[in-house]
A and B are shown apart, each in its own frame.
Chain A
Amino acid sequence: MTSTLPTSDTPVHLAIALDGTGWHPASWRRTGSRATEVFTGRYWTDQALTAERGLIDFITIEDSLALHAGTPFGPAPVPTTSRLVGRLDASLVASWVATRTERIGIVPTITTTHTEPFHVSKNLATLDHVSLGRAGWRVQVSARPAEAAHVGRRAAPFGDVRDARDLASPEAQAQLRSLFDEAGDVIEVVRRLWDSWEDGAEIRDAATGRFIDRDKLHYIDFEGEYFSVKGPSITPRPPQGQPVVTALGHQPIPYELAARGADVLYVTPRDDEDAAAILAQVRELEGQHRTADTPLKVFADLEVVLSTPEHGDGAARLRQLDEVAGEEFTSDALVFAGDAAALADLVQRWHALGYAGFRLRPAEHAIDLPAITDALVPALQRAGLFRTAYGPSTLRERLGLPAAVNRYAASA
């Protein structure tokens, strides 16, 4: 495969989004999908190692508290037997994978809606300790009635909204706003807890008998509309100080959440024009709401079905998959079906617009993940757009984020 890309001096970041056997609903039915192995650790290790072989920045691991897919609106989904459903807890899979990999960043999905911020914070801090600074978090809100019913502590957010088209209604927008405001508070608390131990709080001073210097531990005293948390954390500051916080957004409210509290925002442009428009919108919201010194890193999400020597043309394979599924694959993100060179072109075009990176969703893990590693990555490397080796770095450093300054140490 040849590529005619010019070289560039700002490298692009690549993440891979892992979910089940891949993002296409028929992926589980194909030979080699390992569908019944998705509930084993080994399966996830193998996916992560394939990505690591391609020097990928990080993997994300999808998660949900629901069994059957469905929308936040209208009646509960009818359980179907034809989809791959069921999943392990992403955060624990992440800690497991951390012991079987060396370099790749690991970013599990954890919801802010039905969890305790205190637990979320120490869970991710621990992933960072286990992985020696490779942890991140994919922030997610849970809007589905089924999830609320599973946890049983609150009503479903869009209880009365019957249709996604009603999402524009003032009531629905207020609910959405509230869901994301709460997520913003959770991010704030999780971040404060990460800082609630200064580096060097553990002194082991035999002379005075003190194990810690309690002046380097801080109450966070967060009080918000949804909850209050005292602190400090139980878990000392993670190696990165602040693991990388990421979120997916499709509209201004989540963009704003990311502008306020995230390091990376994933968006879903449909074409070049859309890509430019979304980025402009994000930057505008950033100007209004972001206090951090570092600009938000914006990644484009893409579904990928790549051509390979073994499996032929990507577009043809997508048609086969759709045929097996009995319906056309629809996604919130652009579905790219074609060869690695064309995808590399797209990556370069959007990168030139200002996209820091891409989160690729392999239609079939078994085929598209190796294709990204073996075909797309070399194409981008030849163009000078992608690293040729992992540097000895934390995920923050790899993404070009500055060293995390402890908010409490700074004010002391």
Chain B
Amino acid sequence: MSTPPKQVILGAHFPGVNNTTVWSDPRSGSHIEFDSFRRFARAAERGHLDFLFLAEGLRLREQRGLIHDLDVVGRPDTLPVLAALAGVTDHLGLVGTINATFNEPYEVARQFATLDHLSGGRAGWNVVTSSDAFTGENFRRGGYLDRELRYERAESIVRAARHLWDSWQVDAVAGDQEHGRFLADGTVGEFGYHDDHFDIAGHFNVPRSPQQHPVIFQAGDSDGGREFAARTADVIFTRHGTPEAGRAFFRDVKSRLARYGRRPDDLKILPGVTFVVGDTDEEAAELAADIRRQQVSGQTAILLLEQVWNRDLSGYDPDGPLPDVEPEVGPSSIIQGRARHVDDARAEVTRLRALAEEKNLTLREVAIERGQRQAFVGSPETIADALIDAVQTEVSDGFILVPHITPGGLDAFVDQVVPLLVERGALRASYAEGSTLRDQLGLSAARPATDWETAAAAGVRKESA
């Protein structure tokens, strides 16, 4: 290649509580002990990946009114784990999901500023929302938020947090021992933020951190989610990783940026992908099929399809045909504590029946087929080529790798694929000393909160014009 390819952004997701993780594999370790996180983070750092990512749950998932017990259940708290990881890594970005609905700006801003200080500028915040009363039962305020206000509150909490992070000037800490001036002036940290969601004022008590603002991540596929990301986020997570869907998503999201005075490079697009590395493509394909079967047991298949049908399917044989009943289309959901991701149940059932007929599949096989995420499966060369190609051809700016084993699930990728990416100029050969997560992702310096607001307001006017 004459000109070096575009850099591939790579994050590593320490998998959470879904059926991705094959916990029955003898190599599968603890999801709770810190040692697992340390090992995983060190593997990511060995491969000079951009960041590690943790998801979050605030209520154990339930199905048919029972706590879901087939997948990994339970996880440690996001921010303390990231703070601890800051202590055992040097360069890796540390990105955590923190819910905008069940947290307050002052506390969240303090915690991310703290993480940014402890890690020397490696903090990232994945802003998510939830409004269900089910999750709210664990919190003082309960499920108080109307669904349509979720994004509004999320944008508001990010805006408020940015004001707090801006409230200390770069030179606010004078530290002048001789004259007894610790602060440059008494207005340090002053803030006031008032809207429909928050009415807060006073003095923020954490000095400006290395990145000033942690990198803001957001996952959203809906139109509202995409627009929120275009207005507010630095990185957007997506489920669209296949070339066709990915490129459409990429074009759509990047085209929304100009309205808010942002350049296409100001928002990075990262699909979550699974991967299976083999010595050859054939071997990897076999391995991948095995893993899928392990990820979707008969019982898991029933539960996955219950989320489509939205009714109890426990009486059906996973190795038999698809249920002959029609889906339940009502407001109530058979699963609680996670999104169903089914927009139109009737259409989806029709599609699955056609699929089963065409390929002669059992219920379980349909579930296996349906749940296939975008995956990179093949020899190290095949995967490296595919990754580079996807980024060159604007499927995405990079990927979040989702291994199926914890904590050793990154090892094959790091040891076999990363060297090829480096060799081909698509991934750094080592971290730049002193670089922040923002630097690593190729993002510009944090923009002041007031700039974000001005641009957002102008964009909204353009949108409605």
User: Which residues from chain A sit less than 8 Å from chain B, CB to CB?
Assistant: 28-31, 33, 35-36, 39-41, 45, 64-68, 78-89, 91-100, 114-119, 122-123, 125-127, 129-130, 146, 149-153, 197, 201-202, 204, 206, 209-214, 217, 226-232, 234-236, 324
Q: Does the CB pair A89–B110 fall under 8 Å?
A: yes
Please tell me if B111 contacts chain A, counting CB pairs below 8 Å: yes
| Chain B contacts for A150, CB-based, 8 A | 106, 200-204
Also in contact, A40 and B117, with CB within 8 A (given A82-B180, A115-B107):
yes
Please tell me if B348 contacts chain A, counting CB pairs below 8 Å: no
Name B72's closest neighbour in chain A (CB-CB): A211
Q: Which of A45, A92, A226, A228 contacts B80 (CB 8 A)?
A: A92
Q: Does the CB pair B206–A211 fall under 8 Å?
A: no
Q: Does the CB pair A88–B74 fall under 8 Å?
A: no
Also in contact, A212 and B118, with CB within 8 A (given A30-B177, A89-B111):
no
Q: Does the CB pair B80–A206 fall under 8 Å?
A: no
| Chain B contacts for A122, CB-based, 8 A | 76-77
| Chain A contacts for B319, CB-based, 8 A | none
Q: Which of B32, B104, B111, B175 contacts A114 (CB 8 A)?
A: B104
Complex interface: stretch among B53-61, B213-221, B261-269, B361-369: B53-61
Compute how far the CA of A94 lies from the CA of B84 in the bound complex, rounded to whole angstroms. Answer: 8
Q: Does the CB pair B76–A228 fall under 8 Å?
A: no
| Chain A contacts for B189, CB-based, 8 A | 67, 86
Also in contact, A229 and B173, with CB within 8 A (given A65-B106, A204-B24, A234-B57):
no
Please tell me if B33 contacts chain A, counting CB pairs below 8 Å: yes
Q: Which of B57, B71, B113 contacts A211 (CB 8 A)?
A: B71
Complex interface: stretch among B132-140, B147-155, B351-359: B132-140
Q: Which of B80, B180, B201, B204 contacts A126 (CB 8 A)?
A: B80
Please tell me if B339 contacts chain A, counting CB pairs below 8 Å: no
Q: Does the CB pair A81–B202 fall under 8 Å?
A: no
Compute how far the CA of A80 lies from the CA of B183 in the bound complex, rounded to whole angstroms. Answer: 8
Chosen A-B contacts, 14 in total, with CB atoms closer than 8 Å, are A29-B178, A39-B207, A81-B188, A92-B79, A94-B80, A116-B102, A129-B32, A130-B80, A153-B104, A210-B70, A212-B74, A214-B69, A229-B138, A234-B75
Query: How near does chain B come to A34, taking the closest CB pair, in angstroms?
Result: 10
Which 9 A/B pairs are nearest by Cβ-Cβ distance?
A99-B87, A67-B203, A79-B186, A230-B137, A92-B83, A152-B200, A95-B80, A67-B205, A126-B77
Compute how far the CA of A119 lies from the CA of B77 in the bound complex, rounded to whole angstroms. Answer: 8
Also in contact, A232 and B60, with CB within 8 A (given A88-B118, A93-B83, A204-B24):
yes
Query: How near does chain A come to B134, taking the closest CB pair, in angstroms?
Result: 9
Q: Does the CB pair A209–B297 fall under 8 Å?
A: yes
Compute how far the CA of A341 lies from the CA of B142 in the bound complex, rounded to whole angstroms. Answer: 55
Q: Does the CB pair A234–B58 fall under 8 Å?
A: yes
| Chain B contacts for A117, CB-based, 8 A | 140
Please tell me if B115 contacts chain A, counting CB pairs below 8 Å: yes
Query: How near does chain B come to A249, taking the closest CB pair, in angstroms?
Result: 25
| Chain A contacts for B33, CB-based, 8 A | 129
Q: Does the CB pair B140–A130 fall under 8 Å?
A: no
Q: Which of B34, B69, B87, B118 contacts A129 (CB 8 A)?
A: B34
* Number of residues of chain B lying within 8 A (CB) of chain A: 75
Please tell me if B347 contacts chain A, counting CB pairs below 8 Å: no
Q: Which of A85, A94, A228, A230 contacts B183 (CB 8 A)?
A: A85
Query: How near does chain A come to B174, taking the closest CB pair, in angstroms?
Result: 8
Compute how far the CA of A84 lies from the CA of B183 in the bound complex, rounded to whole angstroms. Answer: 8
Number of A-B contacts (CB under 8 A): 227
Please tell me if B23 contacts chain A, counting CB pairs below 8 Å: yes
Q: Does the CB pair B205–A217 fall under 8 Å?
A: no
Please tell me if B454 contacts chain A, counting CB pairs below 8 Å: no
Q: Which of B38, B86, B113, B180 contacts A96 (CB 8 A)?
A: B86
Name B85's closest neighbour in chain A (CB-CB): A99
**Interface bits B64-101 vs A (CB < 8 Å: 1, else 0):** 00110111111111011101101110000000000000
Compute how far the CA of A36 lies from the CA of B199 in the bound complex, rounded to whole angstroms. Answer: 31
Compute how far the CA of A78 lies from the CA of B81 in the bound complex, rounded to whole angstroms. Answer: 37
Considering only residues 187-209 of chain B, those with a C-beta below 8 Å from chain A are 187-189, 198-207
Compute how far the CA of A289 lies from the CA of B156 in the bound complex, rounded to whole angstroms. Answer: 44
Query: How near does chain B come to A90, taking the closest CB pair, in angstroms?
Result: 9
Query: How near does chain B come to A153, taking the closest CB pair, in angstroms?
Result: 7
Please tell me if B360 contacts chain A, counting CB pairs below 8 Å: no
Name B81's closest neighbour in chain A (CB-CB): A126
Q: Which of B60, B75, B106, B174 has the most CB of A within 10 A?
A: B60
Please tell me if B184 contacts chain A, counting CB pairs below 8 Å: yes
Also in contact, A229 and B137, with CB within 8 A (given A87-B205, A98-B84, A209-B299):
yes
Q: Which of B84, B110, B182 contacts A95 (CB 8 A)?
A: B84
Please tell me if B463 contacts chain A, counting CB pairs below 8 Å: no
Q: Does the CB pair A99–B205 fall under 8 Å?
A: no
Q: Does the CB pair B76–A125 fall under 8 Å?
A: yes
Apart from A28-B177, A217-B73, A229-B138, what 6 extra A-B contacts exist at CB < 8 Å?
A: A41-B86, A79-B186, A86-B173, A99-B84, A211-B72, A230-B137
Please tell me if B300 contacts chain A, counting CB pairs below 8 Å: yes
Q: Does the CB pair B137–A228 fall under 8 Å?
A: yes
Q: Which of A89, A98, A125 contacts B114 (CB 8 A)?
A: A89
| Chain A contacts for B72, CB-based, 8 A | 211
Name A229's closest neighbour in chain B (CB-CB): B138
Also in contact, A66 and B118, with CB within 8 A (given A29-B177, A232-B60):
no
Please tell me if B185 contacts chain A, counting CB pairs below 8 Å: yes
Q: Does the CB pair B104–A210 fall under 8 Å?
A: no
Query: How near does chain B come to A252, taking the closest CB pair, in angstroms?
Result: 27
Compute how far the CA of A56 lies from the CA of B74 in the bound complex, rounded to whole angstroms. Answer: 33
Name B205's closest neighbour in chain A (CB-CB): A67
| Chain B contacts for A68, CB-based, 8 A | 203
Compute how far the CA of A263 lies from the CA of B185 in the bound complex, rounded to whole angstroms. Answer: 42
Query: How near does chain B come to A241, taking the closest CB pair, in angstroms?
Result: 14
Name B167's closest neighbour in chain A (CB-CB): A67
Q: Does the CB pair A211–B69 fall under 8 Å?
A: yes
Query: How near does chain B come to A371, taking the closest CB pair, in angstroms?
Result: 21
Compute how far the CA of A93 lies from the CA of B137 in the bound complex, rounded to whole angstroms. Answer: 29
Q: Does the CB pair A64–B205 fall under 8 Å?
A: yes
Name A186's closest neighbour in chain B (CB-CB): B140
